[in-house]
Amino acid sequence: MNHSIYSADRSTHLKIVVVALVAAIVVAGVGITAHIGADEGTQTARVIKAGKPVVLTSTGSVVR
C-alpha cells in the first residue's frame, strides 16, 4: 500500500473515490432523515400574557 497519494496507482485512487462517495451518501441520508424526523407533528406558538407586576423581597413576593 502506498502512503503517498502522488505515487498511488489507479485502484487506490478508485478506492478513495468510492469511500468518499459512500461517506457523502451516508451523511446526506442522515441529514434527510433528521430533517424529516424534526417535522413530525404540528408546531403551535404559545402566547404568554403578562400578569400583575411582582416585586421579590427577602421575605417573599409582594404583588402591587
- Whether 29 is in a domain gets the answer yes
Any residues with CB less than 8 A from the CB of 30 and at least 6 apart, and which? none
Q: For 18-49, write each residue's pLDDT tens digit.
A: 999 999 999 999 988 886 655 556 667 788 88
- Whether 30 is in a domain gets the answer yes
What is the pTM assigned to this prediction?
Answer: 0.50
What are 17-22's contacts with CB under 8 Å, separation 24+? none
Write down the residue that cell numbers 413576593 correspond to: 61
Q: Which residues pair with 57 in a beta bridge?
A: 60
Burial of 8 (0-12, 13-18, 19+ CB in 10 A): middle
- Whether 24 is in a domain gets the answer yes
* pLDDT beyond 60 at 4: yes
- Whether 3 is in a domain gets the answer no
How many folded domains does the chain comprise? 1
Three-state DSSP class for residue 56: strand
